Each structure stands twice: as structure tokens, then as C-alpha cells.
Amino acid sequence: MAKPVANAAVGFFYDPEELLKAGSAARERGFKNLDAYMPYFVHGINEALGIKRSWVPWATLAAGVTGGSLGFLFQAWVSAVDWPLNVGGKPFISWPAFIPITFETTVLFAGLTTLGALFIACRLPVKNPKVLDLRLTDNCFALVIPISGTGSEEERFLNEVGAEDVRRV
């Protein structure tokens, strides 16, 4: 996700392929912090705009490993140290019996961390979001280029690449 900007030029497109071409051209031209709005995901947009992969899967992995480890270690500690019971000559740390709880703690920690990480990564909740255009949820695509300076270069570029409408936000 791109960083929020205070001043930007927005070009509207009706074809997702045109949006991809315009995004690639904008990145090649040297514009930074590009963003796009669209009614559905367009494959290749992240590469076209130069958006890096998200850190959320790494947070999920770390939380899952932590949750599984803590679940297993807690069961092992309880059965071997805190409350050891010799049942039928089984070992105190009988790991096959620990697998269901280990799995459940892995899923619990990973799921809750993913939810929290998504709220942080998407900067939610958003107070008073700006609506660029109502068509963006229907049939329109938008390329957002942050303005550096007067903004005439960004607007001229969007007109060159075939934007149907260009606005400043």
C-alpha cells in the first residue's frame, strides 16, 4: 500500500490494460509513491506500480510459529514438570497427544495476528475517507500520482498516457 499523500493528480481509465500501461510508464518516468484504485483486482498492478510485497505474511508466520511453540511447551511443562502423572508407563512428554492443541494455538495466534496486522497495514479504521469518484466501485480505474511542485508535469503525463479524465485531489 502506498503512503498517503496530501496533494495528487488522479487519472481515470475505463480499461484495466490502459491502467497497467499507464502505471508502468509512470514508474519508468520516475514518479514515486504511485497508487491505484479499481473496482476489482487487476493482476500485475503491483509490479506495474512498483509496490513491494506486504509484510503481513511474515507477521502471520512468526505468530503461528510462536503460538505453536508456546502451546506445545505449555503442554510439555504441565505433563512433565508441573503435574507429572505416570499413566500406563507412557513418557511424560507424549508428543502425539499434544498435536491437536499445538495446531489450534498455531491457528489462533496466526489468525489474530493477521487481523491486527491488516488493520495496521491498511491504516484502519479510516475517519472521513475521501471519495475520489463513485465510478471507482463500478467501472472506472484510477492512477494516483503524488504532486511534487506545481503538478503540471503529472497532469500532462496522465493526459499523454490516455486518461479519460484528470483531476487534482
Residue 126 lies inside a defined structural domain of this protein: no
| Long-range CB contacts (within 8 A, 24+) of 105-108 | 105/67, 105/68, 105/70, 105/71, 106/64, 106/65, 106/67, 106/68, 106/71, 107/64, 107/67, 108/67
What is the tens place of the pLDDT at every residue in 108-164? 999 999 999 999 999 999 888 888 888 898 999 999 999 988 878 999 999 999 999
Question: How large is the average pLDDT for residues 15-39?
Answer: 95
Cell 497427544 found at: 97
Counting every residue written for the chain, the total comes to 169
Phi (first) and psi of residue 30, to 5 degrees: 105, 5
Q: What is the pLDDT of residue 2?
A: 58
pLDDT, one tens digit per residue, over 84-115 is 988 888 899 999 999 999 999 999 999 999 99
pTM to 2 decimals? Answer: 0.79
In a shared domain, residues 70 and 114: yes
- Residue 78 lies inside a defined structural domain of this protein: yes
Q: Please check whether residue 2 lies inside any domain of the structure.
A: no
Per the structure, the complete domain to which residue 139 belongs is given by 8-52+134-168
Tell me: do 100 and 69 sit in the same domain.
yes
